[in-house]
Structure 1
Amino acid sequence: MGAAPGWLKHVNKVVMVLLRLGLPISRHESPVVLTAPGRRTGKPRSTPVTPMLVDGTRYIVNGYPGADWVHNVRAAEEVALRQGRRAERVRLVELTPKDARPVLREFPVQVPVGVDVMKRAGVLKSGSVDELEFLAGRLAVFRIEPIT
């Protein structure tokens, strides 16, 4: 798992355009555009993510170790999640590896398209729940907390 595959950036740009237009890109999942200030420039940086709901709480799983957006989120006090015209300001709180394990086990069930992308990118081999759980501590998992 070195650098992200070259095709990923291009696919993400297409997905973000579709999401910003409010067009559905999946029948089973509800991806959104996450926008965080760049940790060095402060300029808005966006990427598509797919929030999950586990035991009534929303989470976001990083699909690729070392992703820039994760570093930006860690440095930000708040980020925006946008789907079409609807935007929400939230705080993302990173989970410990122990707390991330049950969320990672749920990821293949709730975000199968994300698992497919991770397999194509070389992050996963089988996409099993055990394989995802094993990546706790290598893949960042964030709890979504609304800002009131």
Structure 2
Amino acid sequence: MSDSARIRPPWWLKYVNKVMIGLQKLGILGENGPVVLEVRGRKSGKLRRTPITPMTVDGQRYVLGGLPGSDWTANLRAAGEATLHIGRRSERIRVVELPPDEARPLLREFPIKVPTGVGFMKNAGLVTGPNPDEYEALAGRCPMFRLEIVNA
């Protein structure tokens, strides 16, 4: 993705992410809130943590990479596997990036399943509100990943 297609995250995101990661470590967010994705950096090799909010559709979990060109999505794409920290437990996952045609119906579900993400997407200038048509139009621009548990 070119730098011109990249959207700069809001100045406050790094600080909010640190708070969310801390709350998750303490087990305060529990099972139903955001979870923390831990993935190895594609350049540094260091483990990177990012709060994400997966959605479940037909028993399968998905996550929308909210900002085109974000580092966490590039790291996830490169690694193919990650760890989800959910409450006080962790699970190893494999990720599959969906092609735009498969992502479209899931993107329509996003404003319904993850209403807390609507404000973020709106503030980023990607949508004007919770209109499913606007989310569907993000197919191919914002990655959608299927999260699959890796059996130990």
What is the TM-score with the length of structure 1 in the denominator?
A: 0.92
Residue aligning to 2:35: 32
Tell me if the contact between 1:106 and 1:129 (Cα under 8 Å) persists in the aligned partners: yes
- 5+ residue gaps, structure 1, are none
Question: How high is the sequence identity, in percent, across the aligned residues?
Answer: 53
Asked if 1:2 is matched to 2:7, the reply is yes
> 1:25 deviation in Å?
7.9
Dislocated runs of 4+, deviation >4 Å: none
- Give 5+ residue unaligned stretches, structure 2: 1-5
Q: Distance in 2 between matches of 1:20 and 1:118?
A: 26
Contact 1:30 1:51 in 2 (8 A): no
State the alpha-carbon separation in 2 of the partners of residues 76 and 115 from structure 1.
27
Indicate how the Cα distance of structure 1 residues 25 and 147 shifts in structure 2: closer, same or farther if over 3 A, else same: closer
- In structure 1, distance between residues paired with 2:64 and 2:78: 17
**More displaced stretch, 119-128 vs 46-55:** 119-128
Matched length: 146
Given the alignment, which residue of 31, 35, 50 partners 2:53? 50
For 2:26, the equivalent position in structure 1 comes to 21
Give the TM-score normalised by structure 2: 0.90
Partner Cα distance (1:61, 1:2) in 2: 15
Between the aligned partners of 2:44 and 2:74, the Cα distance in structure 1 is 13
Root mean square deviation of aligned Cα: 1.6
Task: Tell me which of 106, 109, 114 is aligned to 1:106.
Answer: 109
Taking the aligned partners of 1:138 and 1:127, their CA distance within structure 2 comes to 17
Q: Please state whether the residue corresponding to 1:6 is helix, strand or coil.
A: coil
